[in-house]
Structure 1
């Protein structure tokens, strides 16, 4: 009987020691994270050495890579849009396959992938816009082509570990930018 009482006493004292040393828990005040981004203003990107033009957000900093390839940096959002240009040389199938493979590699982390075909017959611009939801490394991608000579692939990546809830305001802003980029895209004649 003494063992049971001693064990019970030790248990009560131990429980009191573990719970009494903690700070008092107070509820956190209600607050929402506010991420304000400036209203987007656009300028026309028109390099004489490239066979295309499109509108780019003035907050994006363009860094030219090789040829007509470039990256557009958004420092406020900690994101980069990668823009790749290719000439079609009997390789349209492989360019399309690579663009689609790049998108669907994210299916492991993405909750869903929404495809929107893009057709601008007047300017001979055809392509596909992909919106990826979930914790994928990219949230938006698209490709464009004139179906005979040129092919462009574009995707946005954030500098942070993908957490869609945290980057949602920036992802929405860049989705609009990417859609504007795609819709304003024209091949030079």
Structure 2
């Protein structure tokens, strides 16, 4: 009987030892950590009818019509600014700017409108934040209602997946807010 108990104890011990192996699982894919430097701004001043502060880490390109692209190569993003003169067509310009934003409503979870008023510089507009997997997540328009009208929107060169581009989108959104808040018209 002693041999049977010893054999049973040894069997149980070996069974427990064998069953206590650590289960092997594949390692999860690493997630990219996107950290960006604190933005430093510089004044954009040219022959165009408007000026603003922009992030010095971005690259600006200006067309003859004063349309501007602000490229963020590290983030694969571009902010497009379009300038139009107001010639008794302010309602059409406003409708076009709003239409551009609301074309994304199909993919958007929500659209948050924030009115913008800078009475000192006579800059009035709307800042839009588009939630979800839309092609552009931040847009705005600015005008003095008499002479000048500017629209701005950001596009990322990646499949719209807001969760993966959120740090970059937030960074560029802050730059676009600064751009709008510092915009002024030339006399």
| Fold shared by both chains (TM-score > 0.5) | yes
Q: Distance in 2 between matches of 1:159 and 1:188?
A: 33
Q: Distance in 2 between matches of 1:30 and 1:63?
A: 38
Larger radius of gyration: 2
Q: Distance in 2 between matches of 1:181 and 1:153?
A: 12
Unpaired runs of at least 5, structure 2: 1-22
Deviation per residue, 1:124-143 (Å, 9 max, x gap): 10000000110000010000
Q: Which of residues 172, 175, 180 is equivalent to 2:173? A: 175
What is the CA-CA distance between 1:33 and the residue it aligns to? 2.9
What is the CA-CA distance between 1:64 and the residue it aligns to? 1.5
Residue aligned with 2:137, SS = strand
Deviation per residue, 1:127-171 (Å, 9 max, x gap): 000001100000100000001111000000001110000100000
Q: Which of residues 43, 48, 51 is equivalent to 2:49? A: 51
Quote the residue 1:94 is aligned against.
92
Alignment of 1:17-166 (within 5 A): 26-28=25-27, 32-47=31-46, 49-166=47-164
What is the CA-CA distance between 1:38 and the residue it aligns to? 1.3
Deviates more, 1:25-34 or 1:62-71: 25-34
Q: Distance in 2 between matches of 1:25 and 1:77?
A: 36
Residue aligned with 2:75, SS = coil
Q: Distance in 2 between matches of 1:123 and 1:62?
A: 23
What is the CA-CA distance between 1:83 and the residue it aligns to? 0.4
Residue aligned with 2:33, SS = coil
**TM-score, structure 2 as length reference:** 0.84
Aligned-residue CA RMSD (Å)? 1.5
Q: Distance in 2 between matches of 1:25 and 1:104?
A: 49
Q: Distance in 1 between matches of 2:45 and 2:65?
A: 14
Count of aligned pairs:
165
Q: Distance in 2 between matches of 1:73 and 1:54?
A: 16
* Displacement over 2 Å in runs of 4+: 27-33
**TM-score, structure 1 as length reference:** 0.84
